[in-house]
């Protein structure tokens, strides 16, 4: 098993390739999920601001999760 993990003399190159492949795709997977959550949060804050403008005097409800 350790012999096959060493990949002959090429372990560094093979395993670096595997690492690059998964690292780049991991970032590519996480980035849009974070962006969607951020977009939802910003939209929620914007709606809350609009509500406050419409009914002045009411306490701002968006401070806690903005």
Partner 1 sequence: MANWVPLWLHRLGSPPVFYRFAGAVRPWALGLALVLAGVALYGGLFVAPADYQQGDAYRIIFLHVPSAWMSLFIYGAMAVAAFVGLVWRIKIAEVVAMESAPVGAAFTFITLVTGSLWGKPMWGTWWTWDARLTSELVLLFIYLGVIGLYHSFEDRRQGARAASFLVLVGAVNVPIVHFSVNWWNTLHQGSTVRLLGPSHIEASMLWPLLTMMAATKLYYVASLFARVRADLIASESGKGWVRELLAHRDGSGA
Where does this chain bind partner 1 (CB under 8 A)?
4, 7-11, 13-14, 16-18, 20-21, 24-25, 27-29, 31-33, 35-36, 39-40, 42-44, 46-47
> Which lies closer to partner 1 via its Cβ, residue 29 or residue 58?
29
In angstroms, what is the minimal distance from the CB of 52 to partner 1? 16
> Which lies closer to partner 1 via its Cβ, residue 16 or residue 60?
16
Distance, CA of 32 to CA of 30 (rounded, Å): 6
> How many angstroms separate the Cα of 25 from the Cα of each of 12, 33, 37, 62, 64?
20, 13, 19, 35, 34
């Amino acid at each position: 098993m350790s012999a096959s993990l060493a990949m002959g003399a090429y372990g560094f190159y093979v395993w670096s390739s595997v690492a690059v492949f998964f690292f780049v795709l991991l970032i590519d997977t996480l980035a849009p999920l974070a962006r969607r959550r951020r977009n939802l949060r910003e939209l929620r804050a914007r709606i809350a601001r609009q509500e406050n403008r419409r009914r002045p005097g009411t306490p701002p409800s968006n401070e806690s999760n903005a």
